[in-house]
Amino acid sequence: MAREVDLLSYFPSVFHEIQEIVEIANAEKKPLDGTWQAIEDSLNNQFIVTVNEEGASRYEKMLKINVPATDTIDTRRFRLLTRFQEQAPYTWIVLEQLLDSLLGKNQYVLERNVAQKTLKVKIELTVKGQFDAVVVMLERITPQNLVLSIELRYNQYSKLTQFTHSQLAAYTHEQLREDVI
């Protein structure tokens, strides 16, 4: 919320009784409130975590990011954060730090096999837009000689609804939750 402007408080108290001065102060209130809001928005739009719709659109245009119309501002901020935090070449420690900062500790599982040149990432996310943003980021920063496998850490209910109960009865609860079906 932008700063509230009370012009009448800047006048000496003797002017508070004059109706014309009160009306002038009230008439000037709306443009000044708009100016304060514009100042606050321009300051907030300098940082990804506080960016509004207009600022997010500007960053997405600069980075050539296509955004579905259904994305929330939080998903758009997350996508921008992933793009700004990319750096290549990366090390294993940097990759873990990057995923920790974006997703949080224990929100993913990394498995690498150096001999087979594979990297498997299981991400615990429920927002599809965030999952897609992490996939794009990992595809951009990981070396091209690695086979990259990215999936959700736990199966979501929406994925299991395509199966009947008798089909799902062949699996244990742990398999339904953690295995790729």
**Which one has a higher pLDDT value, 75 or 177?**
75
Q: What Rg value do the Cα atoms of the chain yield, rounded? A: 25
**All structural domains of the chain with their residue ranges:** 7-44, 85-178
Average pLDDT, the chain: 85
For the stretch 42-85, pLDDT in tens is 999 999 999 999 999 999 999 988 888 888 999 999 989 888 88
Q: Max CA-CA distance within the chain?
A: 85
Q: With CA atoms as reference, report the closest residue to 116 among 76, 142, 96, 146.
A: 146
CA distance 181 to 123: 16
pLDDT number for residue 42: 93
List all residues 6 or more positions away from 19 whose beta carbon is below 8 Å from its beta carbon.
none
Which secondary-structure segment (H or E) carries 152?
A: strand 147-152
- Closest by CA to 121, choosing from 133, 134, 130, is 134
**Alpha helix stretches (DSSP H) within 45-178:** 53-63, 73-84, 92-103, 128-141, 157-160, 165-168, 173-178
Per-residue pLDDT, averaged over 91-114, amounts to: 87
* pLDDT recorded at residue 68: 87
